[in-house]
Amino acid sequence: MEITVKTAEELRLTAEEFELIQQKLGRTPNFTELCAFSGMWSEHCSYKNSIKWLKTLPRNGGRMLVAAGEENAGLMDMGNGFGVVFKIESHNHPSAIEPFQGAATGVGGIQRDIFTMGARPIASLNSLRFGNLNDVKTRWLLAGVVHGIGHYGNCFGVPTVGGEIYFEDCYHTNPLVNAMSVGIMEAKKMISATAKGVGNPIFFVGSATGKDGIGGASFASANITEESTEDLPAVQVGDPFQEKKLLEACLELAETDTIIGMQDMGAAGIICSTAEMSAKGGVGMRIDLDKVPTRQKNMKAWELLLSESQERMLICVQKGKEAIVLKIFEKWDLPCSEIGEVTDDGILHFYMNGELEAAIPAEELVLGGGAPQYTREYTEPKYLSLIADFKMLDVEDIVNEVELKNTAEKIIQIPNIASKRWVTVQYDSMVGAANTSTNSPSDASVVLAKGTGKALAITTDCNSRYVFADPQKGAMMAVAEAARNIVCSGAEPIGVTNCLNFGNPYNPEVYYQFVKAVTGMGEACKKFNTPVTGGNVSFYNQHPEGAVYPTPTIGMVGILDDFENRMTLDFKEAGDVIVLIGAQQNDIGSSEYLHKIKGVEYSTAPYFNLDEEYQMQQFVSSIIKQKLIQSAHDISEGGLIVTLLEKGFNRDLGFDITADTTGYRKDAFWFGEAQGRVVVTVKKQDTKNLIAKLTDAAINYTVLGTVTALAVTVNNHNWGTITEWKEKYDTAIEKIINKQNEPIIHN
C-alpha cells in the first residue's frame, strides 16, 4: 500500500504532520506506523493545541506528592502516610453517538486511572451537559448517559456521590460527559506508569482485545456531525464486572514486589501504553502482537495497536517473577499474557507472527517528546460586544410581592436548578458505606476515607454561562465555587483536577475562550492554594451553529482532618437565626432568572471579587471549626431564594424573612447570582457572637430572619409551606420527561 499525504489526512493528520513524521523516521512510514502516529498525535493524546497554556497552571506546591502530568492521576498528601488520588476526564464524543456505552466506558476509564497507581477508588462524581430537556433527542441522550453511568458504577461497586447537570440549547448535538474518580492509598506504595530494566517482561492483563474503540482518540479529536454515527466502532464497550476483577487482581499484585510499572490502556490502546511507559523510562520495547489475547479473529497489527477495548492494563514486571503475575490473574479468571520485553534502544518494535510490523522511537510519539505543540492565534469573540452592551435597566424589574412569589415558583422548577432526583436515584450512592451525604446533605459530597482517620469533601463545579460571558472571570468563579462548596462542608480545599471542554481550537474565537479560561483558572488556583494535579482537554465540542459554551469543569478535593468539623447545608431547628455572609449586589447578570425567565441570551457575568471571596471563605472555615454555626449553604444558581428553600427541604423547615431591599432591584436581591455569599444559621443565643466576629473581620453580612417549623414567609407574605415548595422542586424534571409522548429509550 502506497502511503501518501492523502492517507495521512484520512487518518486526521495534517500534511505538515505527515512531513514531520517522515523527518523523524528518516523514511516514509508504513500504514501501521502512520496509524500509531495518528492516535498518539491526536489532540486527545498529545494536547498539541493546549499544552502550552496548561503548563501555566500551578502544578505543584501545597500537599502535592506527584506533579501534574507525571502519572495517570494526581496524588496529594492526606497525612498519616496516606494519599488521595483523583482525576476527571471527558467521554463526550462517544456519549454523543452511543450514550449508554459512551458514559459507561467513561466511568470505567477514569477508575482505571486511579487503581493503576495502586489506589482503591472510593467515590465517583460526574459533570453532565445536555440540550433542551423538552427535546426528544436530549431525553434519549440523558436516559442513556445516566443509565450507563449508573450501570457501570453500581456494578463496579464504587458509589456515585455527587456531580452536576445543566441543560442548555448549545449542548444539543454534543453533550458533555465528564467523569471523576477519587481513591486512597498508602502514599509510599504508589505505582508509576514507567517501564525500565532491559529484559524485564511486559504483560498484557485484563479483557481480551476486540475491534471496538479503534481510532477512538482521533475520533474524539474531530467535530460531531450527522455522519458521526458511521464512526460507531470508535465507541468502546464496557464490562464493569470484568473491571471489578481487574481492580482486585491489580491491587493484589501491587502488594507483591513484582511490579516495575503499570498503565491502563485508555485512549489509543496498546500503542499509547507502550509508548508512554517506554518514553518515561527512557527505554524501548519488543512486542509480539500475536500474543495479545483477542476476542475476534484475524485482527491486523494496526487494529491491535489502536483498539480501545476496555478493562485492560499493561504491566512491566521484574524478570523472574512472571509466575506470581500468572497465578494472581488465573485466580481472578482474567486473560494474562507475556507479550514482550523491555529493550535498551528506545524503539518500539511491534511484531506479528515473527514479521516486523512497525519500528517507532517511543519518544517521538508522546506528549513532551516528539509530538507537535502548536501556538494558535486567538481573537476576542464578536459576541462579547453584545455582552458589553447589556444594560440591566433595559430589563423590567419585579413589581410586587405576588410577582415575586410567582417568579420564585418558576425559578425552582428550571431544570438547571430543580432536583435531579430522577437521575440520582439511578446511582448507588451508598455502596461501600463511606458516603455520609445521602441523608445529611452538604455543599460538597463528604466521604469517609476508611483506615485513614479522615474524610474527603469532593465536588465538581462549573457554570458555563458565566464562562461564556467572561471566560477569564468565569473560570475563576468555577474554582471559587468549588472551594466554597468544600469550605461550607467543613473541609480544607487541597487540589484541583480539571476537564476543559471547548469547541474547535482552530477557531480563533474558541481558542480565545480557552486561553482566557486557563488564565483565570490559574489565578484562582494560586489564590486558594489548590494546585492542578492533572485532568483532560476536550476540544471539538460543537453544534451546527458553533461551539458549545466554554466549560472548564473543576473537580476539587478537600480534607476533613476531624470529621466532627463536618458541616451540612440544611436548617436544623425552628428559631435559629438566618444570616447572609457576604455582600448583596444589585446584579442579575448571567443568572438563571435573566436567561430562562426573561429570555436574555447575552449579559455580563455576575459580580465576583477573588480577594473578597477568599476572605469570606477563610471566615466561614473559622466559624465552622469554632462550632459557632448550625448550617452553611452557598448562593449559586437561582440566587438567595433558592438557597433558602434548599436549606429547608431536608428537614421540612421553613423560614420567615424580612428583607430591606432599598437600593436593590427586587429581582437582583432575590434571584441575582453574585458570587462570594453563603447563608448560615446560628442558634439565637450565639447570634451576637457571630455578628461580633463578622464585624471584627470586616465581612459584610445581613440578618435575614429565622427558621420556622413549616411555613415560608417572605416580607410578611405567606408563601405556603416548605413541603409545597419541595414538591415543585423534586418533581419538575420528572414532569417534563413524563409529559412527553415520545418514549425515552434505555439502551
Active site residues: 44, 91
In sequence order, the 6+-apart residues with CB closer than 8 A to the CB of 255 are none
What sign has the CA pseudo-torsion 49, 55, 57, 63?
Answer: positive
Longest dimension (CA), the chain: 85
From residue 74, alpha-carbon distances to 181, 453, 529, 557, 686 in Å are 11, 21, 15, 11, 41
Query: Residue 273's closest CA among 216, 371, 348?
Result: 348
C-alpha cell read off for 130 = 445536555
Q: Are 272 and 35 in contact (CB under 8 A)?
A: no
Q: Quick one: which of 445, 411, 450 has its CA closest to 433?
A: 450
Burial label, 2 (beta-carbon count in 10 A; 0-12, 13-18, 19+): exposed
What is the C-alpha to C-alpha distance for residues 558 and 445, in angstroms, rounded to an integer? 10
Contacts of 160 (CB under 8 A, 6+ apart): 124, 125, 126, 149, 150, 153, 424, 427, 428, 429
Question: CA distances (Å), 34 to each of 6, 12, 218, 364, 365, in order?
Answer: 12, 11, 13, 12, 11
User: Residue 564 and residue 448: Cα distance in Å, rounded?
Assistant: 12
Closest CA to 217 of 8, 453, 40: 40
Question: How many CA atoms lie within 13 Å of 566's alpha carbon, on the beta-carbon side?
Answer: 20
CB-based contact 604:613 (threshold 8 Å): no
Nearest CA-CA partner of 177 in 222, 211, 140, 130: 130
Place of cell 495518528: 38
C-alpha span between 575 and 577 (Å, rounded): 6
The length of the chain, given as a count of residues: 747
Q: What are the φ/ψ torsions at residue 493 (nearest 5 degrees)?
A: -65, 135
